[in-house]
């Protein structure tokens, strides 16, 4: 229960890595503020948190909208007075497609959520953490943020940006008691990967090479949640600006 008395905000909490991490952080004693634009799945995660004896609230928000980000940050501070952990995780995958066929609207959609959403979350949470003089931020990037994945160049660019924000902000806040790290999953069994599989099944664009699962399987979201709880905790007290791969050897 090393996160007892800590307040943790998790975006994309309604599914996959966000849901598993919400349950893990709450299981370690944190009070959780669950953020998702999907009310139904976000509330379902809150129910699961409460069933395992945890505490928290759900706040519906689209992370790409400035006012909605301010609202979830303000609600957290009004309700609990502080933010100790911020898992800045909500994100989407682009449709697999050759570079030249990517529509501008698809570019805007990916950048709004994966880049602007991460930026806005950090911006408003950092204001709170700076006043406290403490905090841990974990941004979800991807293996696609450290090297490309085939036929998703816009997604790759968005995740490289997440790593850029992580390093830039870590440098600014290293001497202010705030640690900022990036989590890079490889392939994880979630709704996101299921949507990619469905695209292929429906005859959508299939790249010539698709990434190998070196361990012969996807990760369980719980295997990512382990790293999230470590980075959130004081056990990671000398880690900031780190780009942490949890990818089953995918990038080897």
Q: Which residues bind ligand NAD (CB under 6 A)?
A: 11-12, 14-18, 36-38, 41, 61-64, 89-92, 113, 117, 140, 142, 185, 187-188, 190-193
Q: How far is the CB of 221 from ligand NAD (least distance, A)?
A: 6
Do residues 41 and 47 touch, judged by C-beta distance below 8 A?
Answer: no
Q: Report, in Å, the least distance between residue 191 CB and ligand NAD.
A: 4
**Which residues are CB-neighbours of 225 under 8 A, at least 6 positions away?**
17, 20, 21, 23, 24, 25
Rg of the chain (C-alpha set): 17
Instruction: Report helix, strand or coil for 237.
Output: coil
* Closer residue to ligand NAD in complex, CB, 38/233: 38
- Minimal distance in Å, beta carbon 176 to ligand NAD? 26
- Residue reference for tokens 């941004």: 139
> Which C-beta is closer to ligand NAD: that of 133 or that of 216?
216
Shortest distance in whole angstroms from residue 63 CB to ligand NAD: 4
Nearer to ligand NAD, 70 or 134 (CB): 70
- Name the residue nearer to ligand NAD (CB basis): 13 or 30: 13
What does the DSSP assignment read for 23-79? HHHHHTT-EEEEEES-HHHHHHHHHHHHHTT-EEEEEE--TT-HHHHHHHHHHHHHH
Nearer to ligand NAD, 77 or 250 (CB): 250
Which among 140, 154, 116 is positioned nearest to 12, based on CA atoms?
A: 140
Q: Is 155 a catalytic residue?
A: yes
Rounded CA-CA distance 6/12 in Å is: 19
Q: Which of 72, 80, 155, 173 is catalytic?
A: 155
Q: What is the dihedral of CA 113, 78, 130, 55, to 10 degrees?
A: -70
Residue 5: CB minimum distance to ligand NAD, A:
27
CB 89 within 8 A of CB 140: yes
Instruction: Please identify every residue annotated as catalytic.
Output: 155
């Amino acid at each position: 229960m090393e996160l007892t008395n800590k307040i943790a905000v998790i975006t994309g909490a309604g599914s996959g890595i966000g849901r598993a991490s919400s349950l893990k952080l709450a299981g370690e004693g944190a009070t959780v503020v669950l953020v998702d634009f999907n009310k139904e799945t976000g509330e379902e995660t809150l129910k699961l948190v409460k069933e395992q004896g945890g505490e928290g609230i759900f706040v519906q928000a689209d992370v790409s909208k400035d006012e909605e980000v301010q609202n979830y940050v303000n609600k957290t501070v009004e309700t609990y007075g502080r933010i100790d952990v911020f898992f800045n995780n909500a994100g989407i995958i682009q449709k697999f497609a050759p570079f030249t066929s990517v529509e501008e609207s698809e570019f805007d959609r990916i950048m709004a959520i994966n880049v602007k959403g991460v930026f806005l979350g950090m911006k408003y949470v950092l204001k709170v953490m700076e006043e406290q003089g403490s905090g841990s931020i974990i941004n979800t990037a991807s293996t696609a943020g450290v090297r490309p994945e085939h036929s998703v160049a816009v997604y790759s660019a968005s995740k490289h940006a997440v790593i850029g924000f992580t390093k830039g902000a870590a440098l600014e806040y290293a001497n202010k008691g705030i640690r900022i790290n990036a989590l890079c999953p490889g392939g994880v069994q979630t709704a996101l990967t299921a949507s990619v599989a469905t695209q292929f099944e429906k005859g959508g664009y299939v790249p010539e090479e698709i990434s190998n699962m070196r361990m012969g399987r996807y990760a369980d979201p719980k295997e990512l949640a382990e790293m999230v709880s470590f980075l959130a905790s004081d056990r990671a007290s000398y880690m900031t600006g780190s780009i942490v791969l949890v990818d089953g050897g995918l990038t080897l």
